[in-house]
Amino acid sequence: MQRSANAEWIGNLKQGKGKISTQSGALRDAQYGFNTRFEDGPGTNPEELIGAAHAGCFSMALSLALTEAGLTVDTIKTTATITLEKQESGFTITASHLDLTAKIPGADNTKFLEIANKAKEGCPVSKLLNAKITLDAKLES
């Protein structure tokens, strides 16, 4: 299975503007730019999208793990906070913090925490955040 998204950027970093679209159409020409990434301008940014992906992936992984443990999931609510820091080598995503609230009738807290930690480690986006990054580039004239 493969999924794709695309981005187009026009202009320099501070005054330029971009748009992001996803294969599914959930995002279609969503605006992003310097002001949406480093200020509070309207639109999205890469870190926000990574946070959404991480929160969604983790929630699904946790649901699966809880079901496999014989528990019934009522609700799982996850917020992922992505930290972007300026370092000597440039800007770096240094952390993704997951805040989880779940309603699982009859769940034991110790077992729930054990399952949640395994889901945190096993979710594909958690694994991606430590993955090798590759690039195919084409320059158009």
pLDDT digits (tens, 9 = 90+) for 6-44: 999 999 999 999 999 999 999 999 999 999 998 888 899
Q: Find the largest Cα–Cα distance for the chain.
A: 62
Examine the domain organization and report whether 123 and 96 are in the same domain. Answer: yes
Q: Assess if residue 110 is contained within a domain.
A: yes
Q: How far apart are CA 17 and CA 32, in angstroms?
A: 6
118 within a domain of the structure (yes/no): yes
* pTM (two decimals): 0.90
Total structural domains within the chain: 2
Residue 135 has what pLDDT?
A: 73
- The answer to whether residue 139 sits within a structural domain is no
Same domain, 39 and 67: no
In a domain, 83, yes or no: yes
What integer pLDDT is reported at residue 97 of this predicted model? 94
Domain limits for position 98: 45-131
Same domain, 40 and 50: no
Return the higher-pLDDT residue of 133 and 5.
5
2 in a structural domain: yes
Q: What is the DSSP string of the chain?
A: ----EEEEEES-TTT-EEEEEETTSSSSSEEEEHHHHHS--SSB-HHHHHHHHHHHHHHHHHHHHHHHTTPPPSEEEEEEEEEEEEETTEEEEEEEEEEEEEE-TT--HHHHHHHHHHHHHHSHHHHHTTSPP--------
Taking a C-beta distance cutoff of 8 angstroms, is the pair 54, 126 a contact? yes
CB 94 within 8 A of CB 84: yes
Q: Which tens digits make up the pLDDT trace of 38-89?
A: 888 889 999 999 999 999 999 999 999 999 999 999 999 999 999 998 989 8
**Looking at the predicted structure, is the pLDDT value of residue 137 above 80?**
no
Domain co-membership, 23 together with 65: no
Residue 120 Cα distances to 31, 42, 49, 54, 115, angstroms = 30, 30, 18, 9, 9
Give yes or no: residues 49 and 114 share one domain.
yes
Tell me the Cα Rg of the chain.
18
CATH of the domain at 115: 3.30.300.20
pLDDT category, 134, cuts 50, 70, 90? confident
| Residue 136 falls inside a structural domain | no
